[in-house]
Amino acid sequence: METDLDPDPFVQFERWFDAAKAAGIAMPEAMTVATSGLEGEVSARVSLLKSFDHRGFVFYTNYNSRKAKQIHDNPRAALVFWWQSLERQVRIEGAVVRTTEEESDAYFATRPRGSQLGAWASEQSRVLAGRGALDARFEELSTTYKDVPIPRPPHWGGYRVIPLLFEFWQGRADRLHDRFWYRLRSDVKDWVVERLSP
C-alpha cells in the first residue's frame, strides 16, 4: 500500500532487500542485468549486486565482456531482482558509470584467491577452443602468483548503475498486484511515486 512506502526509493529497496535476506532466500543479491548495443541488440544475464547506496548499485565484471562493450556503446542498464517466496520484484533503470580504481581494487582484494586468479585467466565472452586451455592458464597463473598477493587485472572492475527509475512489484491475489514506481524528476532532483495498473 502507498502508506507502507518510504518516499526514498533507496530506503524502500533496502527494506525489501533486508526482508529477502531475513526470509532465507538463496542469493537475494542475484539480479538480471540487461544492456543493449548501438545496433539495438539486447542481452541479459544474472550478476551479483556487491553494494548499493544513494550513489547507485554496484557489480563487477571483465571490461572486455559483452556487457561491458554494450555499456561502453550505450551507458544505460536495467536491473531486475526477483524474490519468489515473497512475491516481490524490483526493477531499476538508469545510467552506468565505472566505479573508481580504488573501489575496484578494494573489492578485488576481498575476493577468494581462486576468483582472483579466474579474473586473470578468463577472457570473458570470447570463444574458447576448449576447457583445457582455460585450466592450463589458471594453473600457470597459480604458479606465477604463488605466495604473493594477486593484483587486480586492468581489464576487470566495477560498474555503478545510477537509478533514474525504480519499480516495486508486490504479488497479490487474482493478479491484481501492487505496482509502484519512483521516477526521478531531474529538474528538481526528487522522486515522484505513482501507482501503476497491474
Q: What is the pLDDT of residues 49-59, one digit of tens each?
A: 999 999 999 99
Flag whether 132 is in a domain.
no
Do 44 and 34 touch, CB atoms closer than 8 A?
yes
Question: What is the pLDDT averaged over residues 65-82?
Answer: 97
CA distances, 77 to each of 80, 97, 146, 180 (Å): 10, 10, 38, 20
Flag whether 141 is in a domain.
no
Q: Per-residue pLDDT tens for 126-181?
A: 888 889 989 999 999 999 999 999 999 999 999 999 999 999 999 998 999 999 99
Flag whether 121 is in a domain.
no
Number of folded domains in the chain?
1
Flag whether 128 is in a domain.
no
Residue 84: the pLDDT is 97
Q: Which domain holds residue 164?
A: 2-113+154-196
Question: What stretch of H or E contains 36?
Answer: strand 30-36
Do 57 and 95 touch, CB atoms closer than 8 A?
no
What are the backbone dihedrals phi and psi of residue 147, each rounded to the nearest 5 degrees, phi first? 65, 15
Name 127's Cβ contacts closer than 8 Å, sequence gap at least 6.
Answer: none
Q: What is the mean pLDDT of the chain?
A: 95
Flag whether 146 is in a domain.
no
Residue 162: the pLDDT is 97
Question: What is the pLDDT averaged over residues 87-99?
Answer: 98
Q: Per-residue pLDDT tens for 158-167?
A: 999 999 999 9
Owner of C-alpha cell 511515486: 193
Flag whether 36 is in a domain.
yes
Residue 168: the pLDDT is 98
Flag whether 120 is in a domain.
no
Residue 98: the pLDDT is 98
Q: Is the pLDDT of residue 109 over 70?
A: yes
Q: Is the pLDDT of residue 188 over 80?
A: no
Which residue in 165, 2, 20, 7 sits closest to 89, CA to CA? 20
Residue 2: the pLDDT is 73
- When pLDDT is cut at 50, 70 and 90, the band that residue 124 belongs to is confident
Q: Is the pLDDT of residue 1 over 90?
A: no
Residue 196 pairs in a beta bridge with: 179
Q: Which residue type, as a one-letter code, is found at position 104? A: S
User: What CATH number corresponds to the domain at position 169?
Assistant: 2.30.110.10
Residue 33: the pLDDT is 98
Flag whether 129 is in a domain.
no
Catalytic center residues: 175
Residue 123: the pLDDT is 86
